[in-house]
Every structure is written in structure tokens, then in C-alpha cells.
Structure 1
Amino acid sequence: MTAAFPPDPKPRPLLTRPAFTGLAGLLTGALLVGVPWLVTSRSGAEPDGRPLAAPAALGELGRTEDAVAKIDNVRGQAQIARVGKADRETGARVSAAYGGAAAVVQEYRDDRLLRGLQLTAVRAASPELIATYEDPQALGVAKPGTELVRVGAVQCLVHNDPAAPGSAPDPELSFVTNCQRTGPGLTVAVRSLGADGNRDPAKIASLLDQAWDTLSR
């Protein structure tokens, strides 16, 4: 049975946590309950190398580099450099996994650096997301630990806090791990960088749809 996700700790400014120390443990838990969206595409067609530019914002979330600079542009330079390098390197790996198709990765944060999402886009179609099979009845819980939720054209994987049969998982402990929308020639995905603000799949799907509209122009 999937372990219960602990309540969110009292948030501290991200700049006081080098290399996202507190966040790393949270992401590890999220990855354990989800299935990575990225699967190598081998359609045999020539990859689409037209450049992709990430949106300047996702709803109220701005680029992490900009959010950090607003708080302390001097002390935040090391953090800004780390985030930028991680996004570029990850984008290059996504492109390589899709045979050279153009890809872009961008991290977004709110003004207090508490809520975060990482967007990944690639000019290629992808398989749909998969939630690993779990038998709630055999496990004695209300819902599977990882549930696939569809919101229009968007798929999301949601981590459910364990709850007794006949009851509902606590919405304050459940959270979205990642969402994806894919079609011919384009995949756009977002990954939650922590549970704070990322509990409602419909809200994250709305942000993803906005990014899709921008990237598909």
C-alpha cells in the first residue's frame, strides 16, 4: 500500500534551502507514486526541429529565474544559474530521447517560491500516461494510491492519501504528480514541484491547456 504523504512542512523561503534540499525528498515521494510521462518516440519520421519557446508564465506562476531575482537578484544568482542549467540540460535529454525533435523545459514558481511546476514540451507525440494497477479492495483502501484522472484532453496522475473503504481520501493530503497533453507533433507536460498548490487536477489541466495553445501556434 502506498505510504501516507506527510502534511506539508511549514514553508521556508527557497533561497534558504540550497539546492532545494527540502524539496528533493518531496519530489522523490512524488516520483515513486507516478509513472514518468516521457517515453522514447520511434515513429521513423524525421524529427521536427523547429524551436520551441516556453511561455513567459503559467497562470500566476512566473519563470523561476524571474521569481528568484525579484526576491534577491544578487544573492539569487547562483540559484538562477542552477535552475537555468537544469532546464537546458533536461531539455537536451528530452530532445535526444525523441530522436532530435525540438524540446524545451522551464521551471515556474510563485512570487514566494512556495508553489512550483516544471513544464516540458517536445515536438512529437507521446504514449498516454499510465497508472500502475492497484486493487483497492485487496489493499483495504478507498482508492488506488495513484489514480489516472482525465480533464478534457489532459491526463493527470493523482496521488491519493490512503483512506478507509467507503470514505474519501483527504484532499489536503492528495496531490497531482504530473499531467500531460499529447497529439500529432506535440506533447506538453507539467510536473509538480511539491504538493503546495498542486492538489486540483482541473486547475493544473487548465494551466497545461493554456501552455498547449501557446506552444501549438
Structure 2
Amino acid sequence: MTQAATQYTGSTGSATIVAAQQKNQQKVAAATIAAYQRAVPGAAVGYRAYADAGLLQFAGVIAVRAQYAGLTSGPVPDPAHQGLAVAQQQVKIFGDVQCSVSQSRPTPTGTPVDPALDLTTMCQRTGPGLTVQVYGTGFKGAAGQQQLVMLTNAGWASVTG
């Protein structure tokens, strides 16, 4: 059992878990803000982490007072050459929001693409003087994708509104 797992099994139960999570999130926030400030010197940066009530979905929202380039997913493969219906990693656009979407299982050419296999891991909205990025865990299928898009737009609205 790891030290962290041992820490969580103590007699104080959930209070220990909450305290450990709060301490960890403080470290994550400081490291995230520092990394973005190194990437964009002089830009104001904000970070917040959120989870749903069941702790099945997590989202880290990062706001940077700078315009970023649009999303890319590295080399863009030819899915047909690989015998696939769609690339396993792609950028999808939803209005002003771009999202990095992965297929959790390859879809062979000639097979219908199942949107339930989409895992949306990050969305970004950028414009003059502002970028909002939302990194998500547990955002599956079309419904999860739309949730992450809505969170990105909500983050944008909270900074610009």
C-alpha cells in the first residue's frame, strides 16, 4: 500500500482525505499558475479545480490573460491509411470552443463511428487578450463533450462578464 493510500485509511476517515486533497490542490494550483506564467511571461493566470458530486468528473479551469493559438493534435494522420474511420486523436470545433477528443477504441474503416467512444480531455476558447482552457477527466461521449464545452464557455463568461 502506498503512503498516500495508508494515509487515507486512518481513523479520521474522510476528514483526512479532504485535508490531503486540499493540500494537494494548493500545490497543483501553485505549480499550474507558475507553469503558465513561465509560458506567457507577464500574463495574469488563474486556476480552479472542480468535481461533480459523485467525484466521477473532474475539471481544471485555467484562465490566461493572453490569446493562444488554436488547438492542434500534433501530426495529423490519415485515418484511411491506418484502416480507421476517424483519427484516434482529433480537434473538434464547437462554435468558439476547440476540444481535444480521443477515441477510446479504434474504429475500423467501414464501421460507424460511435460517439459514445469519444473522450473529451481538454477544451479551449481564445480571443484577444484571453484564453480559457478546461482540462477534464470523465467526460465521455457526446454528453460529456457538451458538458466540457459548456464549462469552457462558462469559464469564459465568468472572466469576461
Shorter-normalised TM range: 0.7 to 0.9
For residue 95 of structure 1, report the CA deviation from its aligned partner. Answer: 1.6
Map 1:41-56; keep pairs closer than 5 Å.
Answer: none
Name the counterpart of 2:127.
183
Query: Are 1:138 and 2:89 matched, yes or no?
Result: no
- More strand by proportion, 1 or 2? 2
Q: Deviations over 1:135-169 (max 9, x none)?
A: 11110010001121110000011102311212233
Normalised by the length of structure 2, the TM-score is 0.83
Unaligned runs of 5+ in 1: 1-16, 20-70
Higher Rg of the two aligned structures:
2
CA contact (8 A) 1:178 1:190 kept: yes
Out of 85, 89, 99, the position equivalent to 1:156 is 99
SS at match of 1:136: coil
For residue 18 of structure 1, report the CA deviation from its aligned partner. Answer: 4.1
More displaced stretch, 107-116 vs 137-146: 107-116
Partner Cα distance (1:103, 1:168) in 2: 41
CA contact (8 A) 2:51 2:57 kept: yes
Query: Are 1:121 and 2:63 matched, yes or no?
Result: yes
- 1:80/1:177 CA distance change after superposition, 3 Å: same
Aligned pairs, how many?
149
Partner Cα distance (1:198, 1:204) in 2: 10
For residue 127 of structure 1, report the CA deviation from its aligned partner. Answer: 0.5
Map 1:1-217; keep pairs closer than 5 Å.
Answer: 18=4, 72-131=14-73, 132-160=75-103, 161-193=105-137, 196-200=138-142, 201-217=145-161
For residue 89 of structure 1, report the CA deviation from its aligned partner. Answer: 1.7
CA contact (8 A) 1:91 1:103 kept: yes
- 1:141/1:207 CA distance change after superposition, 3 Å: same
Partner Cα distance (1:134, 1:81) in 2: 41
Taking CA–CA contacts closer than 8 Å with sequence separation of 6 or more, which of the two structures ends up with the larger relative contact order? 1
- Percent identical among aligned pairs is 32
More displaced stretch, 167-176 vs 111-120: 167-176
Q: Deviations over 1:81-128 (max 9, x none)?
A: 111211122112202211121101221111121111111110000000
CA contact (8 A) 1:109 1:117 kept: yes
For residue 74 of structure 1, report the CA deviation from its aligned partner. Answer: 4.3
What's the RMSD between the two structures over aligned residues?
2.2
